[in-house]
Amino acid sequence: MLNATPLEIKPREALRINPAKTCQPIGAMYAALGIHGCMPHSHGSQGCCSYHRSHLTRHYKEPVIATSSSFTEGASVFGGLANLTQALNNIFTIYNPDVVAVHTTCLSEVIGDDIPMMIKKSAEEGIIPAGKYVIHANTPSFVGSHITGFASMCTAMVRYFSERRMGMRNQINLVPGYVDPVDMRELKRITKEMKIDSIMFPDTSDVLDLPQTGVYHMYPKGGTTVDDLKSTGDSMATLALGHFASHPAATELDEKCGVPCAFLELPIGLSQTDRLIHALRNYAGVDVPDSITQERGRLIDVMSDMHQYFHGKRVAVAGDPDHVISLCQFLVELDMKPVYVITGSPGNHFENRVHEILKDQVPDAMIKQNADLFELHQWIKNSPVDLIIGNSYCKYIARAENIPAVRFGFPILDRMTHRLFPTVGYSGAMHLLNKIVEVTFDKRDRECPEELFELVQ
């Protein structure tokens, strides 16, 4: 399909071909699922809600619940107040969630629906039962990306729930960024290993990675509870993992409740995980346990053993900005060369930070935010790479150019293991290294002449 991508690169201003992102409401819906007993609600048409649910379902291989305001032509002309009012009445009557998390779509944003007013009116009319909550985030698809939507819904959690209640508690908030449930579980395992009390929000572990028991639960046991969300205002600190997905919520919490925040990057790879462990140790005043030190040592051992296969390899990287920033740092630590680095999300911080990471090892790297996979393919056609790392959409480039591909980030629609193994932490880095080595060796074994087909690499 992508063999028709032309070699000649021409400037494009208004057109994106195969953008390396998706729309805001998907991120908002995913974040809302990380609240215990929450029903995500799409304030727009049924088609939007169906697409967002199906996209998440295909990545996580789990049923994703959500409701819709079901706009028709009438709502498009007269506004969505009646639709949202009826929807909230139906949701609390039929599904009885603890929280309804409303996110907007293009249509409701264009007509200018005032969601806070609508929520207030529903509360005054008794449509929202006592002890139940409705929160909202503005997430038009025509700006930002799914990462922006995730960040907006995380910020809404702070805005609606966080409060100073009992003075400072001996606990740390973790805003994990747009990562998979298994990554959130790994982050909680690390804090538990270090004997640190933490509150993660959102938390989709035990929500979108449930075991098969034969019994369906609309609201699984996972997710951050409302009480925990309220207590985030009493925490000693907030660790925000990822500039784009997590920093806005941490900033809001600092401004609202005075909780100091540490702005970190996603703990993917050696040095970024080191920074997380160091921050946890400093804020909680604990020592790093031997078990964590041993995990780090095993990662370094694998990096050393496999170094000859990584050194100098040219890599193309595409994906969400927070993921790509940390991954580029890790690739540099492996002596690999990320020569092409793109994200579909907007934000100049991405280009500035990646340039900073690569300035010594790959000073001529081509780096672009708000880019698309069509242009990345053109770059690769003009000067090939040894490896491509990105989501499932990168498989077309890999096939067309015969490049080994490592599936990484969101969405991964054609594989399963991303649901089972973490990417964050020292353990996640080892899993990522294993994937890189496997695809590299598989290509070598397929293509090498018989006299070089060795049992031991």
Which residues form the catalytic set? 106, 110
Decide: 405 and 31 in contact? Cβ < 8 Å.
no
> Which residues touch 278 (CB under 8 Å, ≥6 apart)?
none
Decide: 219 and 97 in contact? Cβ < 8 Å.
yes
> Which residues touch 306 (CB under 8 Å, ≥6 apart)?
433, 437
Which stretch of DSSP H or E encloses residue 28?
A: helix 24-32
Neighbour order of strands in the sheet with 237-241: 198-200, 172-175, 237-241, 261-264
DSSP string, 422-450: -SSHHHHHHHHHHHHHHHHHHHHHHHS-G
How many CB atoms are closer than 10 A to CB 258? 10
Decide: 201 and 175 in contact? Cβ < 8 Å.
yes
> Phi and psi (nearest 5°) for 435?
-65, -40
Strand pairing partners for 315?
338, 387
Q: How far apart are CA 97 and CA 105, in angstroms?
A: 22
Q: How far apart are CA 251 and CA 244, in angstroms?
A: 12
Q: How far is CA 137 from CA 8, 13, 19, 119, 291, in A?
A: 41, 29, 24, 12, 40
